[in-house]
Chain A
Amino acid sequence: MAPYQPGPEHPFALPMKPPSERRRQRLAALFLGGAVLLNPPVLHAFGTPAVLFGLPVLHLYVFGVWTLLIVLIAWLAERQR
């Protein structure tokens, strides 16, 4: 029995080749890194009332890590396409 294929009369999401195991794992590894850097024990370390470049250190840190995370995701997701 042939598997059902959405015909042209059903505009449906086009399948794409699943990214390689390595790429998937690299991206998922960011999850672990982000989860560690953006959660309490580490946050406490940066939770001083100090100010750097005129901005609170904690705020700089959180937004910095967040930006880095997005850049890395973009790099991994857009590469080799």
Chain B
Amino acid sequence: MIPAVTVASVSFAYVALLFAIASWADRRALRAGGAAKLPGGGLVYALSLAVFCTTWTFYGSVGRAAEVGVGFLPTYLGPTLVMTLGFTLLLKLLRVARRHRSTSIADFIATRYGRSPLLGGMVALVAVVGITPYIALQLKAVSLSFEALTGGPAGTAPAVLADTAFWIALLMAAFAIVFGTRSIDASEHHPGLMAAVAFESIVKLLAFLAVGVAVVYFAFDGPADITARALEHPEIARLFTAEPALADGGWVTVMLLSMAAMLCLPRQFQVLVVENTDERHLGRALWVFPLYLLLINLFVLPLAFAGLLLLPRGTDPDMMVLALPMLQGWEGLALLVFIGGLSAGTSMIIVETVALATMASNDLVLPWLLRFRREQLDQVRDLGRLMLTVRRIAIVLVLLLGYLYFRAAGSAYGLVSIGLISMAAVAQFAPALVGGLTWKGATRGGAVAGIAGGVAVWAYTLLLPSFARSGWLPAEFVGAGPWEIWWLRPYALLGLRGMDPLAHSLFWSMVVNIGLFVAVSLTGRVGAGERAMAAAFVEAYEPVEADSGTWRGAGTVGDLRELLTRFLGEERARAAFDAPIGRRFGAPPDPDARADAELVRRAERLLAGAIGAASARVAVASAVGGKEVGAAELMRMLDETSQVIEYSRRLEQKSAELERATAALREANERLRELDRLKDDFLSTVTHELRTPLTSVRALSELLHDTPDMDLEQRQEFLATIIKESERLTRLINQVLDMAKIEAGEVDWDIRPVELAGAVHDAVAGTQQLFADKGVDLSLDVPNTLPRVMGDHDRLVQVVLNLLSNAVKFAPAGGRAQVTVKPVAGALEVAVADNGPGIAPEDRAAVFERFRQVGSEKTGKPQGTGLGLAICKRLVDGMGGRIRAESAPGGGALFRFTVPLADARTPVG
């Protein structure tokens, strides 16, 4: 036995050392210009995660191993598995929390679901209620170990003032207040706190390894010796098998529970997320932390076997770690173990109370003040000080609550059971937390319903039975169910049996929690702001900055500045608000200027770091006086804008169409005018052409009629002229009719293989007289053997005839014309050339148009209807050939047209 005075003074000396370390680290960070970087890279961060190992681990593991063998391990295997999700889940968690300056898990969940104060308050309340037993557990362990070490009266509670646990609780409250509530900005880091926690992690690990090595290698002859001796006792050898660990299905339950706890315990969230200074530290922590867990558990099984072998029956298994060195008379080692246990307890208490106090002040007290005590709040000048005071009071209250629970109910349970009840409570946050990070469809309604339902089931199946065991409720409540309704029994809800109470509770609470979470999320409505947050959380790796809703208000820069000053203090407000604005605008901010959306947003962010996102939103809303642009309004504005855009787009389209139509109309009009002019020309030409022969016919006929005694020779001459002129008339009318027929598509084609040479000769024969009359020399170049072409013989004759009459018409008297036929690719070509004036290049396409007569001042108006070439073109086109006008060598006109061969593949000849 060690005198209580010695143990107490060593304890206080140790706590004093913690104060010194924390204070040193704080000052060091301050000197480094506020950049609160911890030394040792990620090592301090990784070690601070080991706050996971509380007295529950330090004393409880051996106790549990003595009952179920490896069954104590899933609590540590679970977090190891969570570390494998480091880059998928944890990094995302860190990043999102940093971006939104989350101060606690309550704040984080509230932010994710649209900055809901209801959700934040719920999480904070559940955390405080659920974690209180866990804090009580630490006090109980410290108290128990103190008694075991000093040989105090175990089991009989001492007076409060003589109780070690009470003084420890007070000391821890002081520590948490000094190092945990130094600054109003709770999202900032507490380097002193973390340094102390990391130091305590080292102490508890070393203490446990020391007792392990001492017992295994000095009390025994190595682990093999313990194993060999344990094998002699069947009840100990039983622990070598998987049976005790796996019998009641607790293994999987506890593993899932510890995985959830790793993320959802307020102190784990605090060290893992809030206190993270550098995301790169996470990579180191991913393996250092599991390694720490492995090392601290390495000697648990040998110690449990040693305890069972050496210690008298009836020894509290939770105190075996301390009882073993005491048994061996190693008092120094026992003191070290006590200090290790104290480390485990105090580090947990410190971080947990800071985390809970932050939650309580930001998510419970402040929203309440903002809502119901607005007038009084408005009179407080320095709200930052008020918030710090609230937080400090919360720390004291949380610790007192834990102490009360310990005094009232602490003796009814083993260490492990109390811890598991707490873990099961905070595990209810896991669906909302993990779902919120991975599922965009998760909604506030779903999260509220899931957590509320899960916590209700947890309270009914774990918390109330624990009250029954403490004697606050009748024992029949557990055994027979309330009002003796069998299916309401808390340990066998709906008659579900065969599971231990924890697995049973976890099963039902998770069924209700996840079920409600998913069902309500899928059926409820989601606001636009919430949807934006969901995207920002789930797609955290995408570099987008989403924010739920912007502000539009009538607030001034001065209003914002005053709000910040009230919460953050003059100095911080100046550093965080004035300086950046000065940089942006190049001048100190004008207090009367209207605060733009970005300024308001910046102020809200700054405040969120201090009082939580949900409270910050309310506070800013009250200061700016404006209202948030609601989701519905936003959607409406968006709708209007897109409608306007749509209308304008349609208008543009219509106007473009109109322009096109106008252009087409103008073109058509031009064309009509042109056609009208051509028609007039044609009519005048045709009437002129008709009148000339008609006049001569009429004049000659009258002469014949009036001169009955005309001599025969004269009469014959007149009659011949009349006949010739009539023929001319007939030809003219035929051409007009022909053209009309072709235009109307009424030509009867008789297309078949024909000899082109024959058609050419026929045409030449028909025009021979014309040539002879005018004295134009016509030469032919037609090869004897030519392949046959596909065409209509009569139409071919007509084309050549037209071209020849054209040639003779334009050739000067005594001039010459030539007809050439030659094969070209897949066709025969007929060329008719003359040595007349030729056709100007710009008119070559026009000559084939109807009624178009090409002429010039020099050549004068040519004779003819202007239909001959138009008819030629249409006939050639109709037979599948092409016709074009060129300039003949020597200056005359040259017309070429082609007619396709009858059999293009095997040309005849």
A1 to B550, CA, bound (A): 11
- Let me know if B286 is at the binding interface, CB within 8 A: yes
Partner of A30, one of B84, B222, B240: B84
Is B242 touching A43 in the complex (CB atoms < 8 A)? yes
- With contact pairs A11-B36, A34-B84, A47-B241 given, residues A78 and B287 touching in the complex (Cβ less than 8 Å): yes
Within 8 A of B (CB), among A62-80: 62-63, 66-67, 69-71, 73-74, 77-78
- Let me know if B73 is at the binding interface, CB within 8 A: yes
Chain A residue nearest to B32 in the complex (CB) = A11
- Let me know if B766 is at the binding interface, CB within 8 A: no
Min distance, Cβ A55 to any Cβ of chain B, angstroms = 6
Task: Count residues of B near A (Cβ-Cβ below 8 Å).
Answer: 68
Is A44 touching B246 in the complex (CB atoms < 8 A)? yes
Min distance, Cβ A24 to any Cβ of chain B, angstroms = 4
Is B81 touching A31 in the complex (CB atoms < 8 A)? yes
Min distance, Cβ B14 to any Cβ of chain A, angstroms = 30
Which residues on the B side are within 8 Å of A9 (C-beta)?
A: 34, 575-576, 579
The B interface, classified by DSSP as helix, strand, loop or mixed, is helix
- With contact pairs A9-B575, A66-B294, A73-B83 given, residues A78 and B246 touching in the complex (Cβ less than 8 Å): no
Contact with B along A7-18 (1 / 0, CB 8 A): 101111111101
Which residues on the B side are within 8 Å of A12 (C-beta)?
A: 98, 277
- With contact pairs A4-B605, A12-B98, A14-B278 given, residues A81 and B283 touching in the complex (Cβ less than 8 Å): yes
- Let me know if B580 is at the binding interface, CB within 8 A: yes
A59 to B392, CA, bound (A): 46
Which residues on the B side are within 8 Å of A27 (C-beta)?
A: 84-88, 286
Chain B residue nearest to A38 in the complex (CB) = B77
Is A66 touching B237 in the complex (CB atoms < 8 A)? no
Chain B residue nearest to A81 in the complex (CB) = B283
Which residues on the B side are within 8 Å of A34 (C-beta)?
A: 77, 80-81, 84
Min distance, Cβ B33 to any Cβ of chain A, angstroms = 9
Is A55 touching B227 in the complex (CB atoms < 8 A)? yes
Binds A, one of B199-207, B438-446, B464-472, B595-603: B595-603
- Let me know if B545 is at the binding interface, CB within 8 A: yes
A71 to B294, CA, bound (A): 12
Is A73 touching B290 in the complex (CB atoms < 8 A)? yes
Min distance, Cβ A51 to any Cβ of chain B, angstroms = 6
Chain B residue nearest to A15 in the complex (CB) = B279
Which residues on the B side are within 8 Å of A54 (C-beta)?
A: 222-225, 227-228
Is A40 touching B252 in the complex (CB atoms < 8 A)? yes
Is B80 touching A69 in the complex (CB atoms < 8 A)? yes
Which residues on the A side are within 8 Å of B84 (C-beta)?
A: 27-28, 30-31, 34, 69, 73
> A19-B91, A70-B290, A73-B286 known; 14 other A-B pairs, CB under 8 Å?
A3-B545, A4-B605, A7-B579, A10-B188, A13-B279, A19-B87, A23-B87, A24-B88, A27-B87, A43-B245, A47-B246, A58-B70, A58-B240, A70-B291
Q: Which residues of A contact B (CB under 8 A)?
A: 1-4, 7, 9-16, 18-19, 23-25, 27-28, 30-31, 34-35, 38-40, 43-44, 46-49, 51, 53-59, 62-63, 66-67, 69-71, 73-74, 77-78, 81
**10 smallest beta-carbon distances between A and B, as pairs:** A47-B242, A54-B224, A3-B545, A74-B287, A56-B240, A16-B279, A30-B84, A31-B84, A24-B87, A77-B286
Q: Which residues of B contact A (CB under 8 A)?
A: 34-37, 69-70, 73-74, 77, 80-81, 83-88, 91, 94-95, 98, 188-189, 222-225, 227-228, 231, 237-238, 240-243, 245-246, 251-252, 255, 276-280, 283-284, 286-287, 290-291, 294, 298, 301, 541, 545, 550, 575-576, 579-580, 597-598, 601-602, 605, 609
